[in-house]
Amino acid sequence: MTYDVQTFGDEHGLPAPDGRFLDRELSWLAFNERVLDMAADTTMPLLERVNFLSIFPNNLDEFFMVRVAGLKRRISTGLAVPSVTGAQPRSTMRSLTKNARILARRHADLYRKDVRPRLEAEGIFVIGLDELTASEREGMAELFNERVFPVLTPLAVDPAHPFPYVSGLSLNLGVVLRHPRSGAEHFARLKVPPVLPRFINVAAFDGPRSSAGPEIPVSPESPARFLPIEDVITAHLDSLFVGMEIVSASCFRITRNEDLEVEEDDAENLLKALEKELERRRFGPAVRLEITDDMHPRVRELLVNELAIDESEIYELPSPLDLRGLSVIADIPREDLHFPKAVPIVSRDLAEAESSEQPDVFEALREREILLQHPYESFSTSVQAFIEQAAQDPHVVAIKQSLYRTSGDSPIVDALIEAAQSGKQVLAVVEIKARFDEANNITWARKLERAGVHVVYGIVGLKTHAKLCMVVRREQSGLRRYCHVGTGNYHPKTARGYEDMGLLTADPQVGEDIAKLFNQLSGLAPGTTYSRLLVAPSRVREGLLEHIADATRRAEAGERTRIRIKVNSIVDERTIDHLYLASRAGVSVQLFVRGICAIRPGIPGLSENIEVRSILGRYLEHSRVFVFEHGPELEEAEAYIGSADLMHRNLDRRVEALVRLEDPRHIDEARHLFDLAFADDTARFDLDGDGLWTRASVDAAGEPLNDYQHSLHRVHRRRWSRQRG
């Protein structure tokens, strides 16, 4: 079924577009407000709260670099149109600015007035220059002279020195200087080099000197006294501007438009075009100026004029700016201030096939398909082991892999290189347009090519976001394909902090599907069809809409039905409209959404059967799961996992893949995620029809509700114990 979203509401009696969708951008800010709510939770371990405080500004940076920057560009060029909610572009910008300003101030106050005093009560201090002991001052002077001074470059502004380029997200000091004889005042800009640690533990320099440098780890027994690096520099400005009087020094930071616009004429030129665009991005226009509230008026005026910043784009905050650096403090190894340690287990299905110290993945897959959930189950002993064993196995003849994001010291990339150098045919589909990882991926693409890996960049005009790996192995019965379809990146580091799922399988049907998809990515096969996979941009939306429409028809016929969807974001209007129709027909709809949600739940006559929940915790909920149930006891179910969120970019402008689960155990495991998430006694955020999220963390008696992720750890351990027992 196809339709124009603008007329769909009239045809089916739904409200006009501006009455049935929540604003995407405001919903994104609401997600970051939920991150802030976690930082404000006094029942959470203190250093975990500090971690959420460091995540918030990083998220807000990306929001300004991409979403706000894009809207500003469209307004300035006259290309902006009303949003799907009917809001005018300038009105949307005013709302975003107002809400972002409120959140930024709340974030700063939460750190200064709540978290920082609690850190001090635990012996962890963020101090100012006036709080240094004599011994600490001596240590900071030595640190400055040996490690900081050599990398600083003061830049004066005068007729002979134009205003310097200021890189996006860099921390800078705006210094006002006075000539002692003439009395003339001058301005200088000093960039805080990103190679320096954001916060220095001065306690590490109070006593015998160590060659380990400023990032000495802090043990639970030792004192922790952190000084912002800009304060170290400020204390020694006289050695940079010899003979001048220091009138004032204050911090500022700008955010630039860093969204990429690459014209993909053909794949051959894509790498060079992207490199040029990355260079251009460094000089994108400023969209936000953060300054400290003690900034000298002259510096403020100069920055506004030179950066062409509007007053509405200035964010005046207390020191210190750029609290992303709090991650250094969040990593202090104080077990009493962190979540209890949780060690991933080896998948029970892999453990059964254990024939040595390392599970034999191929042996296990000849017996059954394996559904994985990280980080509850180990990534290194499953997905990573699968690829590494394939690289070393002399019977493996080919490996095909998609790479969207991976780590700087990736064992996955090393395994692909090892495989290619040993004579195996290796294909890597590297998505060099992965936002903010473009430079890393270009580096890896070239490294892979030099090692003899066939590197392709997917299909012109589409990002390759699907998480796929296929291993072709020569066996007695002939060639056999072993495959992995996942919801997350092949990134060993994020696999420890992101919740993701993956299916390992030797099913010939999946193998044929993935072989076809890789052929489409490396060659030309636009008419490809699939059996167990739904592949975007051709079939993910349509396939899901068919399932939603089927549930709607069943409900209209009096059958009990339920739709359960877990995604990072849902903004696709066609999908939302189908869910509204399903709700009106009596289908129960449960949406487990981490981030942006444009659907309005609980509206009488529209969405009273739709529930939306969000869960934030020690892991970032990242898997995408789709379950469709029907029958008197909802006993019949079909389930998919994969890489696609319900956003236009995923469904229309990316190569995505969902795989249908076949094993009844796996379908039950997918269903159990929703049973747990939507249980009345689970802590969560609930969304209402006005777009407001309400946190439920305690029951009527004031007792804490169950932590969803802690519960999943227990579930996986029980399953493992039963299997081993």
pLDDT along the chain (725 residues), means of 10: 47 76 94 97 96 96 89 82 84 93 96 96 92 88 90 82 85 92 89 88 63 40 82 92 91 83 44 52 80 92 90 93 93 92 89 63 93 95 95 96 74 92 91 59 78 80 89 94 95 91 97 93 75 94 97 97 98 96 97 97 95 96 98 96 95 94 97 97 96 94 95 87 58
Whether domain 535-724 has CATH 3.40.50.150:
no
- What whole-number distance in Å separates Cα of residue 288 and Cα of residue 174? 16
- Assigned token pair, 114: 């709540």
For CA atoms 674, 676, 679, 683, the dihedral sign is negative
Cα separation, 49 vs 45, in Å, equals 7
Locus of tokens 């007792």: 703
Q: Measure the CA–CA gap between 546 and 180, rounded to whole angstroms.
A: 78
- Res 24: pLDDT: 92
Cα dihedral sign for 94, 100, 102, 105? negative
Helix then strand then coil, in percent of the chain rounded to 5, is: 40, 25, 35
Query: What is the assigned CATH class of domain 348-528?
Result: alpha beta
Task: Quote the strand ranges of 69-179, DSSP E.
Answer: 124-126, 154-157, 172-178
Residue 268: predicted pLDDT: 44
The dotted CATH code for 124-337 is 3.30.1840.10
Are both 5-118 and 535-724 of the same fold? Answer: no
Domain ranges of the chain: 5-118, 124-337, 348-528, 535-724
Rounded distance between C-alpha atoms, residue 414 and residue 400, angstroms? 14
What is residue 438's predicted lDDT score, i.e. its pLDDT? Answer: 57
Give the separation between CA 357 and CA 400, rounded to whole angstroms: 26
The single-letter DSSP state of residue 704 is B
Alpha helices by DSSP H, listed for 487-604, are 508-522, 540-556, 573-585
When computed from its CA atoms, the radius of gyration of the chain, rounded to whole angstroms, is: 27
**CA–CA distance, 699 with 526 (Å, rounded to integer):** 53
Q: What is the structure's pLDDT at 451? A: 87
Three-state DSSP class for 131? helix
- Catalytic residue ranges: 465
Structure tokens given for 399: 């490996």
What is the spatial distance between Cα 455 and Cα 521, in angstroms, rounded to a whole number? 11
Token pair 């016929």 is found at: 557
First to last CA, the chain: 50
**Which pLDDT value is given to residue 283?**
62
> For 263-326, what is the HEC assignment?
CCCCHHHHHHHHHHHHHHHCCCCEEEEEEECCCCHHHHHHHHHHHCCCHHHEEEECCCCCHHHH
Cβ-contact 381, 352 below 8 angstroms: no
Which residues sit opposite 464 in a β-bridge?
A: 655
DSSP 216-241: ----TTS-EEEEEHHHHHHTTGGGTS
**Cα angle 628, 535, 2; round to 5:** 70
Q: What is the pLDDT of residue 407?
A: 58
Burial of 370: CB neighbours in 10 Å, binned 0-12, 13-18, 19+:
buried
Q: How far is CA 31 from CA 60, 171, 595, 689, 694, in A?
A: 10, 26, 5, 16, 12
For the 5-118 domain, the top CATH level (class) is mainly alpha
